[in-house]
Structure 1
Amino acid sequence: MSALFSQGLDRGIEAMTHLPALPSAVSMSFANSQSPLFVVAALVPGLLVLIGGLWVSGAQDRRRQRHLAPDADLLARLGPAMRRLVIDGGILLLAATLFSFSLDWILPTADATRSAASAVGSAAVAAAVYFVVGRLALTPGANGRSLLPIARPHWHFRVLVVYGAYGAVILAVLEWLRAVGAEPALAAGWFMLHGSLITVFKVWWFFTGRREIAALAMMGATGRLRRLLAHALPWLLAASAVGIWSIGRVAAVAPDGPAWGVAAARTQLVVVLAPVLAGMLATVAREASGRLVGPTPNPLQQAIITVSGQLGAACGWIVSLIALAGIWQFFLAGLMSSELAAALRNLLLVGALVLAGWVVWSFLTALFDAYAPRRAATVPGEEDDHEQTTTSRLGTVLPLIRSFVLGAVLGLTLLVVLSRLGVDIAPLLAGFGILGLAISFGSQALVRDIVSGIFFIADDAFRVGEYIDTGRLKGTVERISVRSVQLRHQSGLVHTVPFGQIQSVTNASRDWATVKFNLRLDREADLERTRKLVKKVGQAMQEDGELGPEILLPLKLQGLADVDDSAMIVRLKITTRPARASWVQREALKRVLAALRDAGIPLATNAVLVRSDSADHIASGAAAAG
């Protein structure tokens, strides 16, 4: 193959030296033609139908789209677009039929004039196909949105039409040169020059629009692999353009070179339209599934919507690959050995397996992401200003299940792919077993951490969002992995604690919490009056719209806890939900102090009271001091 490419490149460069003789060859061909050149005007009816019909179709479609809602989705816009496509297809068919009838009626003789008219008609229809496809996918409607969700649609539409028209002209000239029996070097030189120019044009197109193409391939996804493939797509398209040009060099010296050239042109058409088809199918599938599940999908339905879009894109690429295989199977059959053909079949099967694994991976990832808990960390001082939610048991164990399930999908897909590639996986499985055994013996601490974590999770000792104390460290559980738990301390520090190092767990976030606190009252204060006052404060707190839902048992005075030299110490308690217990305690203390102050019940002070038995002692003391 490399030898054919080198020969084709050398022949193409040498053939370009014959291009100065092309005008004289054209003049000679028309001079020897039996039909006058002006009869090429027989194409005028077909051209009028083609141009006028497409213009009228576009005008009617613009009027029809004015009735669409500005926020109409793709499915709502797809119906009018498909009707326009059917009308445009009928116009193309009618124009091609008029071209054929005109040639047979006015130019029945096979000469240079008829060949030129046939080439012009074929080029016009081919360029119109690009125009119709580009207008369908890239021209924004009345609401300013195109079917293909790509940035700068007008620019890409113009570039696509220029590419289609230029390519049609190149092939039309080649067809005419072959039909009139021109010197082969002229056709080879023409194809070498303009094939290289259109390749440069395509590479410029893919490079200039690489950001839009990558964004189209992303389709809103955020995965690292998807992002990598999306950014690689413009470069792959540019590489395909260079590869097709290389195939053209091979076609220059191949026995059936013209057929190779036609196949290369069809290949480039498929390559250019493949991202368009994939993007449209992805959007259609995603919006259709979204309509079926309704405006408020549950996590499973949301995962189905996500995967349906990816399946639509995959179907678009698969159809494109099948089209490429159909174009090249007859050309490559003679160049490949039976072993290479079998390898290619295995490669296609491997691609199908990888695609199936990718679909399963995408579905499970979307499903786990939909069910996964979303806990936003608060900054210090805002813990009580936000609703503290505790994740369910399923939400706590879901990250572990996600890791195991996705790992199993990846491992099984890899093993099946290796098996289809001819790799004996039995020794590989045995080796993995021995490796796992060695790791288990050499990493006993790791095994202890994993096993301890399994039992902690099975016992439901804690969940994400709960505040726990492990004896050495304490904090709110933010993340649970296979071997450790991450705790966020109230000071903001994040502690990562291996499960194997946890001897016991104290959970402060389950069901309820009883908060007790003391007050120092003056020794002369009325305890019964204080008790009734605290009870009223507790009732008022339960009736409060913000505090009431947090209180399970009302605030009450337990009684006298202690008496010291200057105060009576009374104890109060209140039972609340555990998430905001400290906030409820602060509110209770604030309200009790305000109520005591308003009722005139004195709090204890550190003042020292000095008492005397009589006024004579005071007078004598003052005289002595004086």
Structure 2
Amino acid sequence: MTVHKRDRYFFFSWLFRSCLVLLLGCGLLSYAPARADTPTTGLSQQDAQQLLNVLNDPQKRDEFTKTLSLMAKGLPAAPKTQAKTAATSTDSAAVIDNSVHSELDDLGNTATEYVNNFTSLFTDLGKVGTWFRHEVQNPQSRQSLLDSFGRALLIMVLALAAERAASIGLRKPLTSVKKLAEAREARQTAAQDQTAPLPTDADADTSTDTEADTSQTREKDQRRGNEVLRYLVRVPYNALHFLLKLLPVGVCLLLGYLGAEFLTSTDQARTVALTLVNAYAIARGLYLIIETILVPRSPAIRLVPMPDDTARLLTRWWNVLVAAPSIVICLSILGREFDLDTQGVEAMMRGVVLIEHLIIAAFIWRIRHIVARALQPSPGLRKNALWAFAGTLAKLWWVPIIFLDMALWFVWAAHLKGGYQWILHGTLLTFLCLIVSRVLALLVYGLQDRLFRVGPELQAQYPDLQKRADFYYPYVRKIMTIAIILTTAVCIAQSWSIPTFDFFLHSALGLRLVGAVVCLLIGMTIAALAWETVNSILNKQISRYSASAQEARAARLRTVLPIIRTVLLTVIIIFVAVTTLSQIGINVTPLLTGAGILGVGLSFGSQSLVKDVITGFFMLAEDAIQVGDWVTTGGIAGTVEHLSIRTLRVRSFDGDLHIIPFSSVTSIANTARGFNQIIVRQTLDLSEDTGKVVKIMQETIAQMRKEDGFRSMIFSDYTDLGVDNSDGNGAVLVGIIKTAPMMKWKVQREFYRRIALRMAAAGIKFFTPTSYSTTPPNVPMHMALDAMPTGPQDDTPPPAAPTPAVEQPAAPKPQPPRPAAHE
């Protein structure tokens, strides 16, 4: 027989009911009471056994699975030829249907119970009226009530009078404690004003934006740390103030117990008196706890930073709110004492708690503006759209709080098992987590400020250490802030029964996340320490070279320093990234393999780039050139303006900037190293006395070396190298002058200027080249470079004899311009 329609009906029926159970039972089943008459499972023993038989039989299990698969695909199930198989499927569907029905019945019973518990608040109050009328109409019970409450009220009046008298007697000690706290506060404020550094205009002008932000952050953290210490110092005065305020309450409690023992004649009167005294003492003690923390009349003892009017407002409202616990205690004890029905007592207690929650809602409405102003972000943050939106939402903080306040009462009034305790427990732990995290943040920031302050000895040994510490200060502070926020969020989630601790401490994913974060922090710390250690060693080595007059080594190390830092930073980033990725769970082996293959491919494809880098590194390592040197390389002469690992930038004399890759540099002529030499060449007439010319040049250099402007530039006198050549072009006299680096052009120009005048005065004859030319016959003589005359005419006389032309000096060879820099 075919049973696919029935199977499909049961399947979809089970699916729909299961979804309904999940949607309706998420909130209520967690608080549903475990009842003894309700089975712990929706399956009966017989249904469970039938389902187990189907699952244990491979043939039946396969047929049932195939049927469900066809139904899921929207196809008709295969026809069953065996009645036994059809019966098995029917039994399985029946088992599932019974389970769903059982779960829905339990859920409905639980919801009905909660609704009945809530509505009983209004029906049970009638029992209270019935009990009161019965007690008043009965003369014996009426007399008992009047006697008990009359004596109890008399005892309370006497106890309150004694409390008032004790409070008046303790006014003087309270005033002394207040004066001592104010004197200590004044001394502490004066000491802080004397030790607080004042910012100067010079500091403001020389400090950068980063340094200013770091300084402001450190000042803010230090100020907050001082505030915490300031309030911690108030604790002894606050504790003494609390004890003095609690002493009259103890007198009231003592007289109440004595009055209940000696001024009552019945057990009911004694119970009523003790109940009223205890309720008043509890309410008064709760009030004194908050009053001691706020201390509206003694700001020097207050433990919470707030204005005086806010402290007075909170204290007045708290004095009203503490009455509800006392009334609840009285109702719970006196109801049982005078035979009031338990349901009536609970109804009155729920009514009192409702009034308490309404008062709390009114209090929240009263302070909504105060809290909204406190929650607003700073004006600087409000420029950001996100923070501005957060500030707008902060003005509506009271809406969810009032909803939570009333939800607490509804949960408690409906007797949701564990609901009221769960919300109250989560709320209190949330406030506790926020307070602890705030205090912890202030302590951690204060500890960071102390750790990042370098002492005078270390400052003298490492002058840049404080600057480097200030550089890392904001980053470390952000990391600690994020850690505190995340820890607080995890604790708050745990306080609301969300198993965050189990997730981060026991689950595989949580442990992996925690391990990755810890590994990243350790890697960043090691990287920062390695970076600072290497930089400190290199800077200290440069300082050592400079102090020992090894400027060449210092300059070489200073030139290579950027390359070393770049390589070190690259290695650190790769190390931290690979380590973090491996801790997260990403397999870095393919990544490293791909990076190696890519590096090999790039090295083959960009050989010139590799050659640039390698040549540049060795050029810089060997200190062949430096920024500011005058070099000649690649056919370009000029001043070195910038050096990188790949290129050389040279500014020529005409102002053009030449960017030369190191692969094109085959040789470098560096004019700025060691010394320079001026090669002096004078072409004299063959009849001139060379000794006379040498003497003039020697005297000129000797005179220049005596002058302050040239004394440090000229390293030697004029050195005569003799006559280099003597022929029909004259005698070439050669000599050299050794000068300081980059100073040869200035010395050369001044030297030639001076000897020109002296040689002219001495009548020195220089070789002047001459040229001879002839003119054709019958052509007059003409000057060189003039236009040639026209050819001879028929009627012109015969040409005259050749006449030598006028001598013309040969045009001088153009000299390359000399740089005027570095004079």
After TM superposition, is the score higher than 0.5?
yes
Deviation at 1:429, TM superposition (A): 1.0
Q: Distance in 2 between matches of 1:162 and 1:316?
A: 27
Q: Distance in 1 between matches of 2:691 and 2:364?
A: 108
Alignment match of 1:533 (pick from 675, 683, 696): 696
Q: Distance in 1 between matches of 2:300 and 2:517?
A: 31
- What's the secondary structure of 1:432's corresponding residue? helix
Q: Distance in 2 between matches of 1:165 and 1:417?
A: 53
- What's the secondary structure of 1:394's corresponding residue? helix
What residue is the counterpart of 1:97 in the other structure? 239
Between the aligned residues of both structures, percent identity stands at 18
Alignment match of 2:433 (pick from 231, 255, 263): 263
- What's the secondary structure of 1:479's corresponding residue? strand
Identify if the C-alpha distance between structure 1 residues 466 and 95 changes in structure 2 by more than 3 Å, giving closer, same or farther: same
The answer to which of 399-408 and 90-99 deviates more is 90-99
Q: Give yes or no for the alignment of 1:514 onto 2:677.
A: yes
Q: Distance in 1 between matches of 2:651 and 2:624?
A: 17
The answer to which of 345-354 and 308-317 deviates more is 308-317
For 1:230-249, what aligned pairs fall within 5 Å after superposition? none
Alignment match of 2:660 (pick from 492, 497, 501): 497
The answer to whether the 8 Å contact 2:631/2:640 transfers is: yes
Alignment match of 2:292 (pick from 112, 121, 129): 121
Alignment match of 1:359 (pick from 496, 515, 528): 528
What residue is the counterpart of 1:187 in the other structure? 360
Q: Distance in 2 between matches of 1:552 and 1:243?
A: 82
The answer to whether the 8 Å contact 2:681/2:734 transfers is: yes
What residue is the counterpart of 1:470 in the other structure? 633
Deviation at 1:307, TM superposition (A): 3.6
- What's the secondary structure of 1:553's corresponding residue? coil
The answer to whether the 8 Å contact 1:46/1:99 transfers is: yes
Cα deviation code 1:561-599 (max 9, x no counterpart): 6789999765442112323222232333344446557x6
| Aligned residue type for 1:177 | L
Q: Give yes or no for the alignment of 1:485 onto 2:648.
A: yes
Deviation at 1:96, TM superposition (A): 1.4
Q: Distance in 2 between matches of 1:164 and 1:267?
A: 26
What residue is the counterpart of 1:203 in the other structure? 376
What residue is the counterpart of 1:53 in the other structure? 181
Q: Distance in 1 between matches of 2:374 and 2:398?
A: 15
Q: Distance in 1 between matches of 2:708 and 2:238?
A: 77
Cα deviation code 1:250-291 (max 9, x no counterpart): 9867442133134334545666x4896388437xx3441xx1
What residue is the counterpart of 1:450 in the other structure? 613
CA RMSD of aligned residues (A): 5.7
| Aligned residue type for 2:446 | L
The answer to which of 429-438 and 557-566 deviates more is 557-566
| Aligned residue type for 2:525 | A
Deviation at 1:372, TM superposition (A): 11
The answer to which of 115-124 and 587-596 deviates more is 587-596
For 1:14-53, what aligned pairs fall within 5 Å after superposition? 49=177, 53=181
Identify if the C-alpha distance between structure 1 residues 306 and 515 changes in structure 2 by more than 3 Å, giving closer, same or farther: same
For 1:563-578, what aligned pairs fall within 5 Å after superposition? 570-578=733-741
The answer to which of 245-254 and 553-562 deviates more is 245-254
The answer to whether the 8 Å contact 2:225/2:445 transfers is: no
For 1:59-74, what aligned pairs fall within 5 Å after superposition? 59=187, 62=190
Q: Give yes or no for the alignment of 1:305 onto 2:466.
A: yes
Identify if the C-alpha distance between structure 1 residues 594 and 197 changes in structure 2 by more than 3 Å, giving closer, same or farther: farther
Deviation at 1:102, TM superposition (A): 1.7
What residue is the counterpart of 1:137 in the other structure? none
Higher relative contact order (CA 8 A, sep 6+): 1
Q: Give yes or no for the alignment of 1:177 onto 2:313.
A: no
What residue is the counterpart of 1:292 in the other structure? 457
Identify if the C-alpha distance between structure 1 residues 445 and 274 changes in structure 2 by more than 3 Å, giving closer, same or farther: farther
Deviation at 1:400, TM superposition (A): 1.6
- What's the secondary structure of 2:658's corresponding residue? strand
Unaligned 5+ segments in structure 2 are 1-25, 28-155, 204-214, 251-279, 326-354, 408-422, 544-550, 771-823
Unaligned 5+ segments in structure 1 are 5-31, 133-159, 212-230, 375-387, 609-626
Q: Distance in 2 between matches of 1:351 and 1:189?
A: 49
The answer to whether the 8 Å contact 1:469/1:505 transfers is: yes
Q: Give yes or no for the alignment of 1:342 onto 2:514.
A: no
Alignment match of 1:395 (pick from 533, 558, 561): 558
Q: Give yes or no for the alignment of 1:581 onto 2:744.
A: yes
Q: Distance in 2 between matches of 1:294 and 1:403?
A: 27
The answer to whether the 8 Å contact 2:723/2:734 transfers is: yes
- What's the secondary structure of 2:704's corresponding residue? helix
The answer to which of 409-418 and 324-333 deviates more is 324-333
Q: Distance in 2 between matches of 1:125 and 1:491?
A: 81
Identify if the C-alpha distance between structure 1 residues 562 and 529 changes in structure 2 by more than 3 Å, giving closer, same or farther: same
Q: Distance in 2 between matches of 1:210 and 1:251?
A: 28
Deviation at 1:349, TM superposition (A): 0.9
- What's the secondary structure of 1:403's corresponding residue? helix
What residue is the counterpart of 2:416 in the other structure? none
Q: Distance in 2 between matches of 1:561 and 1:522?
A: 14
Q: Distance in 2 between matches of 1:43 and 1:436?
A: 84
- What's the secondary structure of 2:376's corresponding residue? helix
What residue is the counterpart of 2:249 in the other structure? 107
The answer to whether the 8 Å contact 1:49/1:91 transfers is: no
The answer to which of 168-177 and 578-587 deviates more is 168-177
What residue is the counterpart of 1:332 in the other structure? 493
| Aligned residue type for 1:587 | E
Q: Give yes or no for the alignment of 1:408 onto 2:571.
A: yes
TM-score for the superposition, normalised by structure 2: 0.49
Cα deviation code 1:484-518 (max 9, x no counterpart): 22223233333222222223333333322212244
The answer to whether the 8 Å contact 2:616/2:647 transfers is: yes
| Aligned residue type for 2:750 | E
The answer to whether the 8 Å contact 2:560/2:621 transfers is: no
Cα deviation code 1:410-445 (max 9, x no counterpart): 111111121222222112111211221222233233
Identify if the C-alpha distance between structure 1 residues 82 and 115 changes in structure 2 by more than 3 Å, giving closer, same or farther: closer
The answer to whether the 8 Å contact 1:530/1:601 transfers is: no
Cα deviation code 1:88-107 (max 9, x no counterpart): 56750222122221232023
Alignment match of 2:446 (pick from 277, 280, 289): 277
Q: Distance in 2 between matches of 1:488 and 1:473?
A: 9
Larger Rg: 2
Q: Distance in 2 between matches of 1:436 and 1:164?
A: 70
Q: Distance in 2 between matches of 1:307 and 1:179?
A: 59
Q: Distance in 1 between matches of 2:305 and 2:653?
A: 63
Deviation at 1:409, TM superposition (A): 0.9
The answer to whether the 8 Å contact 1:357/1:410 transfers is: no
* Number of residue pairs aligned between Structure 1 and Structure 2: 503
Identify if the C-alpha distance between structure 1 residues 470 and 91 changes in structure 2 by more than 3 Å, giving closer, same or farther: closer
Q: Distance in 1 between matches of 2:534 and 2:307?
A: 40
Deviation at 1:309, TM superposition (A): 3.9
Deviation at 1:471, TM superposition (A): 2.2
